Structure 1
Amino acid sequence: MGLGAPFIRAETEKRYDELHTDCPARDVVNHVTSRWGVWVLICLRSNALRFYELRESIQGISEKMLAQTLRVLVQDGLVWRKVEPTTPPQVTYGLTEFGLDVSEPLTELFDRVTQRLAPHGEK
């Protein structure tokens, strides 16, 4: 039997039941890990971008899907949205503190995957 330090749970009470379908944290995780949510968060880690810059940066995403993804990420508090009153309006998006915190492990995951893959074009 090991003599390591005993496991002590820092939080004695669970805040959310992530396996329950009504769990709000589950909704946020679903939005983050959606087909485009991951890429939006990773793309915004480096700096705030305008809508068209995001669309150009994330290859394969349609305007409709980008708008839908940004809408839910803003509602979840992961992304902030700033509208400048110009014609046409200039809309800029960036990560909130919560978004930065959530996107960090996503970026690390992507980095780990790309380090393990063979160089582009090789099998």
Structure 2
Amino acid sequence: MDAEGFITLVDRKKDMIITGGENVYPIEVEQVLYRHPAVREVAVVGVADDRWGETPVAVVALEEGAEATAEELVAHTRDRLAHFKCPTRIEFVPELPRTATGKVLKTVLRQRHGGGERAVGR
């Protein structure tokens, strides 16, 4: 809250992704990806897309010793979700950034993974 009493939202409001006019709730995509045996942790964020407005990007940390490709994980979601909800890119990281209380810092993920070429297309 600023000195004039205005409240500014700095997180969580942005979690919902609007892609091609459709609402995508990251938790739904994350729950599907968690069902893949190689996935240890995952966060889905919306990043800017010239064609769709926003597009879902999954940031994934794999189980120790496990292997999975971006194509494999996207195929896993396509078998279980509407096509527009599926990530258009999978980014692999050793671990997700978290706050001191353990919450995933999606704002950091959007900053780090918001650009670049798509690894997997629609």
Question: TM-score, structure 2 length as denominator?
Answer: 0.30
| Structure having the larger proportion of residues in strand | 2
Question: TM-score, structure 1 length as denominator?
Answer: 0.30
The structure number with the bigger radius of gyration is 1
